[in-house]
Structure 1
């Protein structure tokens, strides 16, 4: 069965161990199904801090849950970050795990995780997993942020559950009741945790009929730094940002000065300037002293900071720098296009600015035609300044159906056109010329008065005779 939408039936996030870094969870593995016979596996690259060498390949092991002894494997290059497993059974549970390899071999694989492929039918009642699950680990807390699932209109809210994984034995772990959150919540702060402990966090959607699949994160809280740690890695001394395009920014920096710790990587913090919503904060890792931040919003100002990372200690973040991405064409057309006939030859057109202008609107272009099937270049066009939101289009024919659409322009170019709307101009009516009519009436009255006077005079003369 052909399916156009993406079914995120199980979006799981878990760590996998690096070569020579046995048993330490370090990165995220995500699973989703776009068809009933596929599983897409995605992950973040393993950093040099944990790989102990250059990662040259990744291996994904998988098998049906009821055939655990029949394990299949797929290997991809060290620069790959996703692979799609095909030819699977619909509505079937599979177990998957992953391992990273260097030139010396593979490290320990991750734990097995389960994923069920979608059913061929009856998918409307399935609640997808929340997307873009991000967890910022601190010493005593975890800040959890996520985005709604694709079918968010079906959900009533979210549930969040967490548990400590080590050193507490599995059988002794206390049962923690799920935390119920409203639909509008997109983040939550888990407090009262223990530093340098492994935790698991699950977030899933629910409604009054069912509960959805969970997005899962596993990771460790920060350890308590010593006085020596704080002194060994000073802040990054110099940070420079420059816009590269409408969706990317180059960020460059210098190493901390007088550091006694070997720096193995850097963490970059990025968020829209002036916003304090933690769910909008993104973190990136770089082994070099520069990074190209992509997938940003056009014509948006960002705050950026850099943190140095040693093998067992992280330094403080630098001071923030700000930079704006370039303008781009509008992503959306003008909103709420309205038409109103003023008379038989003119129409009032009104609208609201685009929801995503991606820059300063410098011009609006209004296209109109009596034939909606014509190509755009054959439609008549009028341009108006980007500061106005209504105008009068004149010179139309009476009793005619006209079609209108419009687009907004930035300095980069014109965005998409709005949906077509139509309107009928009214028939032309005979309109009296009031001054002329008044003159005619006055003239007729004077004429009648003269005739009446003549009759009276003639009648009087006849009597005298």
Structure 2
């Protein structure tokens, strides 16, 4: 059983691991059924100390972990049958990533499903994906040049994707060609490490017709008794049972997860589990998800099960109320209006308004006013005339309060003292009556004289 070094691919997803991928051997090279692979590796500086690990014969990739960052390693792989191991591949070298604090690691669980003219690419986020602002995906054709026994590469096409993307379908490819796909995260400062896949697209239908049809292979049935239960605001436990009737050995399962009713393929996420359960993480709070499970055999996959739905639990709002507006109504009142948070993560049960005439005061000294979650405007009264006031607003769900909005300010009007018309009229009438009485008295006195 011989393996060529060109059949293997090495990449790193973090400073402490190396991912090794290889192509299965054809029957004419394996000289029997491959039952296991043995991977040997050592640091280039310590070639006398060689470590080895064995994996099953149905595996085509393995990740070596707990390695040293920024270190050169050499690796080789040998295939084995029940008789024993064959000649290992040539030693291949790989340098682990440097352990920088701001380095973006490679995406994990990169999977590519090859069809005749398409490659269906899925992946999981980088371990430190919070540093990323998006993903990039490149695809290039890699073909062997028979005349020089080397590889020639075609033009590389790079696609920029959103941070939430976990899926992309490459179309318009040539059939039966070797391609290399890379996916990596990036931000404004740097480009992250890439996850890499190499493989071939399927042969064309016309070529298949000229050759003998492949034997029909049984496919595994989908799992049964699928149950989903929310575990937190960002995770759901999904459990299932093996198919009740199946003549195919199931090696693992694929879980499809997407927000209920979505038509956006980039929001669909795939998980792999060798057990009959999986904890789906990195979900949105208070969101309903559609979940389905697929059984996978050796080089054969079955259909997805029917979907089940489950909602994640609510959480505190992750964003403050939006569009906070302040309008002075008079010398002692201000109209406050707003819109609900963009990410409420639950049902808003209340809003809390904090305000103060002194920006330097600690928050607990600010006056507060609570409002029902269905209200988006309120008139704040009892303020001082001709005064600068500062306001901020927060929302709360049943779980707790979220962040406050940015502080906004408003100036109340100067109070104007106006005369009471009724009081002034009474005074004038009283004065007039008094004057009339005085005049009458003066006239009566004059007549007596």
TM-score range, shorter-chain basis? 0.5 to 0.7
Higher alpha-carbon deviation: 364-373 or 213-222:
213-222
Give the corresponding residue for 2:231.
Answer: 244
Is this contact kept in 2: 1:204–1:213, CA < 8 A? yes
Change (3 A) 1:108 1:352: farther
* 1:257-406 pair list within 5 angstroms: 257-406=244-393
- Look up the SS of the partner of 1:429 in the other structure: coil
Residue ranges of structure 1 left out of the alignment (5+ in a row): 1-19, 32-38, 64-68, 89-93
Give the corresponding residue for 2:170.
Answer: 189
Give the corresponding residue for 1:200.
Answer: 180
Residue ranges of structure 2 left out of the alignment (5+ in a row): 23-33, 56-61, 79-83, 204-212
Q: Cα offset for 1:325?
A: 0.5
Is this contact kept in 2: 1:332–1:354, CA < 8 A? yes
Partners of 1:28 and 1:299 lie apart in 2 by 37
Is this contact kept in 1: 2:111–2:122, CA < 8 A? yes
- Look up the SS of the partner of 2:404 in the other structure: coil
Q: Does 1:408 align with 2:395?
A: yes
Give the corresponding residue for 1:218.
Answer: 197
In structure 2, which of residues 412, 423, 438 is the aligned counterpart of residue 425 of structure 1?
Answer: 412
Q: Cα offset for 1:328?
A: 0.8
Change (3 A) 1:71 1:414: farther
Alignment RMSD (CA, Å): 5.3
Is this contact kept in 2: 1:25–1:218, CA < 8 A? no
Q: Does 1:138 align with 2:114?
A: yes
Partners of 2:250 and 2:9 lie apart in 1 by 18
Q: What's the TM-score once normalised by structure 1's chain length?
A: 0.66
Give the corresponding residue for 1:35.
Answer: none
Change (3 A) 1:304 1:159: closer
Q: Cα offset for 1:308?
A: 1.0
* 1:146-157 pair list within 5 angstroms: none
- Look up the SS of the partner of 2:422 in the other structure: helix
CA deviations over 1:167-210 (Å, ceiling 9, x no partner)? 98996655432336577796452343446x75312467999xx9
Partners of 2:147 and 2:185 lie apart in 1 by 29
Q: Does 1:29 align with 2:12?
A: yes
Partners of 1:421 and 1:255 lie apart in 2 by 58
- Look up the SS of the partner of 2:403 in the other structure: coil
- Look up the SS of the partner of 1:279 in the other structure: helix
In structure 2, which of residues 203, 213, 216 is the aligned counterpart of residue 228 of structure 1?
Answer: 216
Is this contact kept in 2: 1:139–1:193, CA < 8 A? no
Q: Cα offset for 1:23?
A: 8.2
Is this contact kept in 2: 1:159–1:206, CA < 8 A? no
Q: Cα offset for 1:150?
A: 5.3
Change (3 A) 1:204 1:257: closer
Q: Cα offset for 1:30?
A: 1.7
* 1:46-61 pair list within 5 angstroms: none
Partners of 1:259 and 1:297 lie apart in 2 by 35
Q: Cα offset for 1:259?
A: 1.3
Q: Does 1:161 align with 2:156?
A: no
- Look up the SS of the partner of 1:398 in the other structure: coil
Q: Cα offset for 1:406?
A: 2.4
Partners of 1:433 and 1:440 lie apart in 2 by 11
Partners of 1:271 and 1:359 lie apart in 2 by 19
Is this contact kept in 2: 1:270–1:303, CA < 8 A? yes
Change (3 A) 1:257 1:198: farther
Number of residue pairs matched by the alignment? 401
Is this contact kept in 2: 1:129–1:149, CA < 8 A? no
* 1:14-163 pair list within 5 angstroms: 29-31=12-14, 39=15, 41=17, 85=68, 112=93, 135-140=111-116, 141-144=118-121, 160-163=138-141
Q: Cα offset for 1:364?
A: 0.8
Q: Cα offset for 1:395?
A: 2.1
Partners of 2:159 and 2:11 lie apart in 1 by 24
Q: Cα offset for 1:289?
A: 1.0
